[in-house]
Amino acid sequence: MPDITQQYNQTFVEFNPQQQANLAIEQLRKLQIADGAFTALPTGRTVTLNLPQSWSWMN
């Protein structure tokens, strides 16, 4: 399987997958409510995701 540089024939010098993942998790934390569900703005409706315990960042 080709890497992203080969796939798109571009060089991503500034791309840091770990940093991007951390930023995404931080954004998700802002949307997570006390019971572990996520709010769907702007309505405040919630979505419950059943993620493996090993994925938890709240522990």
Predicted confidence at residue 22, as pLDDT, reads 92
**Bridge pairing between strands 38-40 and 45-47:** antiparallel
User: What whole-number distance in Å separates Cα of residue 57 and Cα of residue 25?
Assistant: 8
Question: Strand, helix or coil at 42?
Answer: coil
Residue 9 lies in a domain: no
Residue 30: domain span? 15-52
Q: Which two tokens stand for residue 16?
A: 């840091």
The answer to whether residue 20 sits within a structural domain is yes
10: in domain? no
Provide the pLDDT for residue 17.
Answer: 86
Q: Is residue 36 part of a domain?
A: yes
Q: Output 43 or 2, whichever has higher pLDDT.
A: 2
Instruction: Name the more confident of 3 and 49.
Output: 3
Whether residue 2 is contained in a domain is answered as no
Q: Which residue has the higher pLDDT, 42 or 1?
A: 1
pLDDT digits (tens, 9 = 90+) for 4-59: 777 888 777 787 889 989 999 988 888 887 888 777 665 666 666 677 777 666 55
Residue 29: inside a domain, yes or no? yes
Say which amino acid occupies 5.
Answer: T
Residue 58 covered by a domain: no
Name the domain count of the chain.
Answer: 1
